[in-house]
Amino acid sequence: MEILGTSLRVCVDDLDHAVGVYERLTGSQAVRFGRGGVSVAAVGAFLLMSGPEWELEVLRKVTATIAVKDVDEARAVLSEVGAEIIAGPVPTPLGRNLVARHPDGSVFEYVDRGGSSV
C-alpha cells in the first residue's frame, strides 16, 4: 500500500474564521464540502470540521486521514495485518474512503483521490 500523505483533523466552532487562518498558514485555498451535518474544509494538510457536537464527537475518534493510491489495496493490506474495517469503502466528494481500527486500537480514515488532483 502506497501512502501519499496525511491530513490532520481539526474540529472547530467557526469554520469560516478557521478557514481564513489555515489558508494564511498553509498558503493553500480551501476545498469545502459537507458530510452529513458536518461542514468540512480541506486546507493544505488540514481537514477542518464544524457541526453538531454529537457528530463531531464521532469524528474526533479518528486520529488522522491517510491519503493512499488505492483504497481497495489499503483495505486488503489492513485486513492482512488484522485491522477492523469500520466503514467503507464509500465514495466521497474527493474520492473514496474507509475507516479502519488498527490492531492497537488507533482509528484512521484512508482516502484515495479517485483521479482527483485536489
- Give the residue carrying C-alpha cell 461542514: 39
Domains of the chain (ranges, CATH numbers) = 3-112 (3.10.180.10)
96-113 confidence digits (pLDDT tens): 999 999 999 999 999 997
Amino acid at 37: G
Sequence-ordered list of residues with C-beta below 8 angstroms from that of 91, at least 6 positions apart, any chain: 114
| DSSP H helices in the chain | 15-26, 53-59, 71-80
Task: Flag whether the pTM goes above 0.75.
Answer: yes
pLDDT tens sequence across 53-103: 999 998 899 989 999 999 999 999 999 999 999 998 998 877 899 999 999
